[in-house]
Structures are given as C-alpha cells and as structure tokens.
Amino acid sequence: MNRIKSLDGLRAISIIMVLLVHSKPTMPVALADSFLFKYLISSGLGVKIFFVISGYLITKLLIQEREKTGDINIKNFYIRRSLRIFPIFYAYIVTIVLLQHFYFSANVVNYTTVLFAALYLWNYKQIFVSSQPNEELFFGHFWTLAMEEQFYLIWPLAFKRISQRKLINVVLIIIAIMPLIRVATYFLMPNYRGQIGMMIQTSGDTILTGCLGALLEKQIITSPHFKWLKNKLFMGAIILFIFVISRILIAKFGGMYALTIGSSLSNVCVLIFVFWCIYIPTLFSDFLNNKIIIHIGVLSYSLYIWHLLFIRDINSLLINKQAETFWFNKFPQNLVFAFLAAFVSFYLIEQPINKLKAKFHKSSKKTKLSANESTV
C-alpha cells in the first residue's frame, strides 16, 4: 500500500501535543499556563487522533489483504504486530529497570509494575494493585499501548470471521452502547472511575471509530455528503469543536458531557478531520506532508516510548543527588534529547526490523512497506 497522504503528518501533530503536555512541569509557568495549553494543545486529543488513525489504518490494511488474497493471515498479522511493538517497548523497560538498579534511590519500578507493563495490562493496573509513588513516572504512558494491543488481539479475528456488512453493524452497535457502559461503570463501579478513559470496554470506541471509517470509506467518498469536506465553514466548525469547544464543554459539564455524548462526538469529528486531511488539498495538508513533519510522524512510536525518560525531572531520584548532572531533563533541551533518542531508536532498532516485518505481508511481492504501514 502506498503511503496515505497526511497520516504521518497527523501522527507528528499528535505526538508533539503529547510531548508538550507531558513536559509542562519543566516549562516556565507563563508558558505552561498560556492560551496554547488551555485551549489548543491537549495530550488527550493527541491520543484520540492516534487511536482513530490506528483503527483506520489497521482496518484498511486488513481490507486490502482480503481483497488481494481472499483471506486474512492471522499468524502473519500477529508476527508483524509483535515485530512492530515488542523490540523498542521491551528495550525501554529493560533500560528503566537498569536505571533503577544502578542510579535511582527511589523505588521507580518493582516486579508488579514491570509485570503489568510488560503484559500490556497497564490500563487495568490501578484496579488490581494500589498505586505506589513514582510508578507512573516512566510507565504511565503505557495505558495507551496496552489498550491498542488488547484491541488488536480481538479485531483481526472478528474481521476474518464476520462479513464486512455484518461487521459494520456490530461496530455501530458497540459504538452506540459504549457511552452507556461508561455511565454504568461510573455509577456502579465507583472505584473504576479513574480508569474509564483507559479501559477497552469503556474507551475502545475511539479505535473502533477509525475502524468504521475504513469499513465505510468507499461509501463515504462517493456519497453526495462528501462535498461537505470542501465547505470551509463546516470544516472550520469541526476543527473549532475538536480543539476548543470540546474542551470548554468538558471543563463546564465534566463527566455528564464527556462520558455520554462528548467522547463519541469528538471521535466522529476527529474521523471527519482525518478524512479532510487525507482527501482535501489545503495549506494544512501541504504542511502535514512536509518532509520534516512526515519524518517526525515516522519517529512517533520511538518518541512515544522514550520521551518520559527525558522530560521527567529525575534528579530527586538519583542515588547521588546532583542537580546539575541531568541538565538534559530541563526544558527545552529535554525535548531535543527525546528526539535524539527517538532518532537513534528508529534507525538502530525500528528500521532494520521493519525490513524483516515486510516478509510477513501476504500480498503482492511488488507491494512495498509504506511509511504509514511501518508505524502501525
């Protein structure tokens, strides 16, 4: 599959938002409290865009494989997924464990935290194990990867065994009832409230919305309503809602809005935004397809995995506390070092493995592994 226009650029925007929000504690107060972070830059939105793109692209790849071969090779799917995710993920965990052993005085990781992280169960950890100080410092971001991996244990099997028409109906039903599940969880399981945005049964509809976009893509782009994507007023309203209005509504109404229609409405608007970026040529789509922006998108997985190591203030954790020792954890050089780590990780680990991963694509030998595909 050829690289899909704008997807790597959207990944770049998303990971930059996540990095900036996570690095707020190291920023000057004036910048951290500025208009940008109040209304425009949101790590939650960055994650939502990631999830929608991920569901869309994985499903598009599955559709293409079935159209070319008549079937889905589940074994190859899981091998590709493992080669994509495991090497950098476990390299990071080993790095944190070694730092704990040799450099950190505080208990940053223990057997329990490593187990939940390594088994992709971090999004359920707080339900089974009491939270300990510092454990979120370096593994806290793994709830997103955990939810994705849980989803992709199920999705290719469902795609293989259910016809596309029936699958669309199943997805629509799940998306429709998930707000009810969120509300029920909030009232019937109060101890789980902090996890509602992280568990697959309460927030998996974000990924499913992307999947639905791929399943309905041909109908969408041939529909008379598709012309609305060219309407500047309509798309301006969608973008304003995603970046500003949605956050204002959540701030004003809280869970009453977010758990009911808020999350679902945002998911749909993000999907519309993604289609607009892919199909409608604009100055913004030109920006997303700039070579530098594309490269940041290609690096997004490595950035996601390694960034907390560089943007956390770890001086207080050191056995020999010397504030000047880890100056690279200060803003803005912490972002520079996060990018350097991602660059090294990509070229030493990701890129060589992506070449191996390409061998497990059951498709035409002429099909090359695209930049989009390499980041799924």
Q: Is 303 a domain residue?
A: yes
Q: Is 285 a domain residue?
A: yes
Counting the structural domains of the chain, the total is 1
In sequence order, what E strands does the chain have? none
Domain interval for residue 41: 7-375
Three-state SS sequence of 84-124: HHHHHHHHHHHHHHHHHHHCECCCCCCHHHHHHHHCCCHHH
Q: Is 1 a domain residue?
A: no
Q: Is 138 a domain residue?
A: yes
Q: Is 314 a domain residue?
A: yes
Q: Is 323 a domain residue?
A: yes
Q: Is 2 a domain residue?
A: no
Q: Is 205 a domain residue?
A: yes
- SS3 percent helix, strand, coil of the chain, rounded to 5, is 80, 0, 20
Per-residue pLDDT of the chain (376 residues; tens, 9 = 90+): 567 989 999 999 999 999 999 999 888 888 888 888 877 889 999 999 999 999 999 999 999 999 999 999 999 999 999 999 999 999 999 999 998 888 887 778 888 999 999 999 999 998 888 777 777 889 999 999 999 999 999 999 999 999 999 999 999 999 999 999 999 999 999 989 999 999 999 999 999 999 999 999 999 999 999 999 999 999 999 999 999 999 999 999 999 999 999 999 999 999 999 999 999 999 999 999 999 999 999 999 999 999 999 988 777 677 666 555 567 788 899 999 999 999 999 999 998 888 777 677 654 444 444 446 544 5
Rg (CA), the chain: 21
Q: What is the DSSP string of 113-159?
A: HHHHHHTT-GGGHHHHS---TTTHHHHTTHHHHHHHHHHHHHHHHHH
